[in-house]
Amino acid sequence: MKETNSLPTTTDPIGQNLIKVFSNVCFTFFVFSVLIFTVIAITYKPPDPWLETSNALTLAFTQVENATFKTDTSVISTGEDLVLAPAVSPSAMLITEDAIEKSEERVIGNLSSILDCDNGGVDIVNCSDPRVLFVIEKFNLKVFKSIVFLEYGVPVNGSKGNECDVSWKFRNKKEKSWRKYRDFRRFRIGFGENCSYVVTSAKGWHSGINARQPMRPRVGRRGHGLPRTQVYHDDQINDTIPVVGSDSTFRKGKYLYYSRGGDYCKGMNHFLWSFLCGLGEAQYLNRTFVMDLSICLAATYNPSNKDEEGKDFRYYFDFEHLKEVASIVDEDEFMKDWKKWDANHKRNIPVRKIRSHKITPMQLQKDKSTILWRQFDAPEPENYWYRVCEGKAAKHIQRPWHALWKSKRLMNIVSEISGRMDWDFDAVHVVRGEKAQNKELWPHLDSDTSPDNLLTKIKNMIQPWRNLYIATNEPFYNYFDKLRSQYKVHLLDDYKELWENTSEWYNETKTLNNGQPVEFDGYMRVAVDTEVLYRAKNRVETFYNLTSDCKDGVNTC
């Protein structure tokens, strides 16, 4: 009996011990999981500063000299890169293979003529025959996989009897806006099976000159002395400045006016962050935002290394899109209407002057004044516009990133460069400049981006003899010559004619600038470089693929 009674006493501790061991293992695993998660949470840095919290951005501003961003000016994003937008506008119809086949069935069934292909070739093609357009549409869909085709013009005769020129509007699949771009090419038409048309060859970007839209005369405004010139004009660009209108219209409006503050002549990222704060507050208060179209471009973007005032907002950003999605008025027009009202009426417009950013948008919500005038007269950094959107206001003010797109004129250059490479190219982003010279923060960058090391590393990532676009801030054009032994190298300066004095961009910006030529400055170069980089099939990055250095310097990875 003693032996049998002793059995339970020997087994019970074993079971309890197993349970304790299992519990300890689980608890240890839990502690390690929490520890790992905590380390990741502390050390992780989002790749895009605009996606960080308002507090994090404020900290980034105030921790550096003059409370501005230490920006990497080699890559600049705007709202079209950060916010998802519809692939096409609601009115646009995509041209797909199914859509072509349905149109083909409907149209060809009504055609009475039969093609004569007894000779095995085509001497003269009727380019207006809808069957010609169908085969061109199918050809394009197979060749240009990265393009969304939106609409075609009617094909016209090329330089030979069996050639047809045709134009179309399109959008690159990697672009998030619904803007349209235009190409026109020359196709050679032959016969295929069953006596049907086929495309036997196609020429390159903008080769179908007979399908190009006619030139329009651009006449200077009276008093500015602009000559009458013939240029090609993008009819989708509308840069006209909205006018308030009559006295009664002006009086009925509600406006939010920001005086110029310490943001002026700061970096473009700083400008965008502050500008969108003001625009966001105007939308929160249901008011029209009074905006200054004159920008001061910071020295970092200028060859002179000096700040340059008098730059037009429309050189860099899509003003037409901004007008469509936000209620804005130009500061010059606004001041004219304000002075006109005061001159013609005994009673002045109700104005509330706000001298501190600490007066929140929530406190102004019920204010009935026609004009809310924020004045930024305090010393830096108290006079920055973005301070309005800090603190409690950050929970209420949404910056309307979707309202800010890059200039359509700059994007036309992007499409031109990409189109000349037939949308079939790879790209490498090579950051050098001041970072390569600063060995304390980036000890290996200069060596890792040397021509020999570039060639060695890129060969493992990109197939030889591909079109290779190099987006870079390296000032010496011939620096990348070694890569030409393995690749068809393209640099931004290979396309200078797109902004020189015979270009559409030159003529259009000159018109905006009252007949004075506009410099293709550093910010424009970066914007175009970046957007071409985004459209590459394969992309190699400096701080991910080419070097182990941290993007923001030593110990920041």
Residue 509 CA to residue 448 CA, distance in Å, equals 39
For residues 310 and 359, what is the distance between their CA atoms, to the nearest angstrom?
Answer: 31
- Note the pLDDT of residue 18: 60
Beta bridge partners of 469: 427, 490
Secondary structure (DSSP) of 286-324? T-EEEE--EEEEPGGG-TT-S-EEEEEHHHHB-HHHHHH
Amino acid 9: pLDDT: 45
**Which residue in this structure is represented by tokens 């300066």?**
493
DSSP string, 418-487: HHHTTT--EEEEE--HHHHH-TTT-TTHHHHTSHHHHHHHHHTTS-TTSEEEEEE----GGGGGGGGGTS
Neighbours of 536 (CB within 10 A): 25
- Tell me what pLDDT residue 419 has: 96
- Write out pLDDT tens, residues 478-526: 999 999 999 999 999 999 999 999 999 999 999 999 999 999 999 999 9
What pTM was computed for the model? 0.82
What CA–CA distance (Å, rounded) separates 174 from 124? 39
Phi, psi of 27 (to 5 degrees): -65, -40
Residues of the chain with pLDDT under 70: 1-22, 25, 27, 29-76, 79, 82-93, 109-122, 215-233, 245-246
Residue type, 376: F
Cα–Cα distance measured from residue 348 to residue 338, given in angstroms and rounded to the nearest whole number = 9
Tell me the torsion sign for CA atoms 321, 324, 326, 329: positive
pLDDT of residue 34: 60
Domains of the chain: 79-83+238-403 (no CATH), 97-211 (no CATH), 408-546 (3.40.50)
Query: d(Cα 115, Cα 119) in Å, to the nearest integer?
Result: 11
In this prediction, residue 437 carries a pLDDT of 94
Q: Tell me, what's the pLDDT at 202?
A: 96
Q: Burial, 266: exposed, middle or buried (Cβ in 10 Å; 0-12, 13-18, 19+)?
A: buried
CA torsion angle for 89, 235, 321, 83 (degrees, to 10)? Answer: 50
For residues 554 and 15, what is the distance between their CA atoms, to the nearest angstrom? Answer: 54
